[in-house]
Structure 1
Amino acid sequence: MTTTPATTHAARAERWQRFRANRNKALAAPHGWLTLTSFQWLEDSPSAVEPAPGLWSTDATGSTAFLTAVPADGLTLVETGEKVDGTVSAVLADEESLMWVQFGGPDGDQVVVELAMRGGRYAIRTRDAASPAFTEFDGVPTFPYNPDWEVTGRFEPYPAPVDVPIGTANPLVDGVHRSVGEVVFRLPGSSHEFRLQAEEEKLGALTVTFHDETNGDTTDEWRKLSLPRPRPDGSVVLDFNRAINYPSAFTPYGTCPMPVKNNSLDIRVEAGEKEPYPGR
């Protein structure tokens, strides 16, 4: 059988549809990003932190987090199901998270409390399975699949990774982008090359976080794109049909990284995920 352009297009479109189905399924996971309902910093003295029961704190150095509760608070440890009766503690490294305790609902697990270390400080986030963003989720709106937005570029690695300070979706949380190199490419409708700093993921894959001219109009303030591991010759495929939103597009309680300075495309990238709540 001879592969024609039409056959290739259909196969690519079918792969994109599978990608979209898996993406929506992942977002709809129990206690996933769509269930975030609060973000609170912990102080160094035991305090109530709404909407979670119990008293929450850190030690004076901020290295350990503590939770003190009684059985009537209805808190159980996520990992073991054991009731919290007294004081429990946890230690995390920066950027780590722990689904720590749960409460509420008929089975006592409607709300999961996530402990997180961000910017050297402990915080808790509640993940409520009754959140309307979760219960009313019907998939993320996207631009139609367009093969023109799949391009081949080249990866130019740095001699060594460079840590670049960045902002995040939470103005009280700073972030760091570990740039490992630049992805260089051209896009439809533009006469010049683009360069985006990239981070390395598992097995040599790359991620680029970027602005473009659709942000704040049809798309969220920024998006990200995962790229396969560059080929031995340095070439790499960028399929902007697979550009996705960060969790901060769905919830105000995300601490998602902003793009590094100059990771901006001066054209409208009308591909990938759109703003999930237009007009809100």
Structure 2
Amino acid sequence: MTTQNTDLDTFVDEWEQWHAAHERALADPHGFLAVTSLRWLTPEPERFPDAPGAWSSDEDGVAVRLDDGEELVVDGETVRGHHRFGVVAERASLLAQAGDAVIEIAKRGGHDILRPRHPDHKLRRDYTHTPAYAPDPRWALTGRYLPFEAPRPVTVGAAVEGLEHVYDAPGEIEFETDDGSTHRLTAFDGSRPGSLLVLFTDATSGVTTYAANRALAVATPDADGRVLVDFNRATNLPCAYTDLATCPLPPTENRLPIAVEAGEKIPYERAGSR
């Protein structure tokens, strides 16, 4: 076996391990596939069939009033009667246990929402896997991080009509494809300090990949600003699977004119609605 073949085998094996871990996280008993509804809270207390209590939201934050026989577990403590969660920060989520379900209390686009998550939800129960392009080293590109002098607020749309998200963009990522063309993508902060996240569409969007968006996590740039832009690890956001998500859409400048034939494809759950 040649060194080149060995390197390819290693590349494929590492991708398969990464994607298997990603699939396990997606199918978690209380992951996004377990969400049974999306509720927009108002000052008027309201009961929902998939969550205990009557829920409301006002200037003091989110509150729930539990009837006799109803309870939640919040931060390891059992709560009954009236409980106030307080003001939830934008893009933050609080979780309360209700039997084998988890109730997510969150704020998205300035609105307090409730998303119950039930492990036996049909979408999660029937989930098998997400199709993806075969891993290809040609789509693992070396890019360059170009930081802004100061983070720039960027307003983007959302999977929910009428909702907007505002993110601070610390900079751009520039990369070149094998046809010699150069592209730049606006980057947001990633899940780990120093890491980056890119939301994008491309010429495959709505054809073989999900139309609205895909996401790509990028590790912290090295001392020279180099980053690995590995489109093989482009993933779907929750809105690719369910209408109960408030996912952000890519900024206009992140609509690539090229066909990125790498990463996750349209989920089987959405195969009939491209």
TM-score (norm: length of structure 2): 0.92
Q: How far apart are residue 160 of structure 1 and its match?
A: 0.7
Shift of the 30–120 alpha-carbon distance from structure 1 to 2, 3 Å rule, reads: same
1:261 has 2:260 as partner: no
Q: In structure 2, what is the equivalent of residue 20 of structure 1?
A: 19
Q: How far apart are residue 263 of structure 1 and its match?
A: 0.4
Q: Which moved more, 1:171-180 or 1:236-245?
A: 171-180
1:65 has 2:56 as partner: no
Q: Which moved more, 1:63-72 or 1:31-40?
A: 63-72
Q: In structure 2, what is the equivalent of residue 279 of structure 1?
A: 272
Q: How far apart are residue 177 of structure 1 and its match?
A: 2.4
Q: In structure 2, what is the equivalent of residue 82 of structure 1?
A: 78
Equivalenced residues, count: 268
Q: Which whole-Å deviations, capped at 9, do the CAs of 1:18-70 have from their partners, x for residues lacking one?
A: 101110111111211111111111111222234323211123x2x31111111
Q: In structure 2, what is the equivalent of residue 226 of structure 1?
A: 217
DSSP 3-state at the match of 1:203: coil
Q: In structure 2, what is the equivalent of residue 154 of structure 1?
A: 144
Shift of the 81–137 alpha-carbon distance from structure 1 to 2, 3 Å rule, reads: farther
Q: In structure 2, what is the equivalent of residue 93 of structure 1?
A: 89
Matches within 5 A, 1:51-200: 51-59=50-58, 61=59, 63-72=60-69, 74-80=70-76, 82=78, 84=80, 86-91=81-86, 92-102=88-98, 108-109=99-100, 111-188=101-178, 190-200=179-189
Q: Which whole-Å deviations, capped at 9, do the CAs of 1:193-226 have from their partners, x for residues lacking one?
A: 1000111222311111101011111111210111
Tell me if the contact between 1:209 and 1:223 (Cα under 8 Å) persists in the aligned partners.
yes
Match of 2:231 among 216, 225, 240: 240
User: Hey, which bits of structure 1, 4+ residues long, moved more than 4 A?
Assistant: none
Q: In structure 2, what is the equivalent of residue 250 of structure 1?
A: 241
Separation of aligned partners in 2, 1:71 and 1:276: 42
Separation of aligned partners in 2, 1:89 and 1:172: 28
Q: How far apart are residue 149 of structure 1 and its match?
A: 0.7
Partner AA of 1:146 in structure 2:
D
Which structure 1 segments of 5+ residues have no match? 103-107
Q: Which whole-Å deviations, capped at 9, do the CAs of 1:220-277 have from their partners, x for residues lacking one?
A: 1210111111121111111111000111111111111111111011111111001112
Separation of aligned partners in 2, 1:41 and 1:52: 13
Q: How far apart are residue 122 of structure 1 and its match?
A: 1.1
Separation of aligned partners in 1, 2:213 and 2:252: 12
Separation of aligned partners in 2, 1:83 and 1:199: 37
Partner AA of 2:65 in structure 1:
T
Q: Which whole-Å deviations, capped at 9, do the CAs of 1:88-144 have from their partners, x for residues lacking one?
A: 010211211111241xxxxx32x3221111222211011111112211111211111
Q: How far apart are residue 78 of structure 1 and its match?
A: 4.5
1:270 has 2:261 as partner: yes
DSSP 3-state at the match of 1:122: strand
> Percent sequence identity over matched residues?
36
Separation of aligned partners in 1, 2:71 and 2:163: 28
Partner AA of 1:198 in structure 2:
A
TM-score (norm: length of structure 1): 0.90
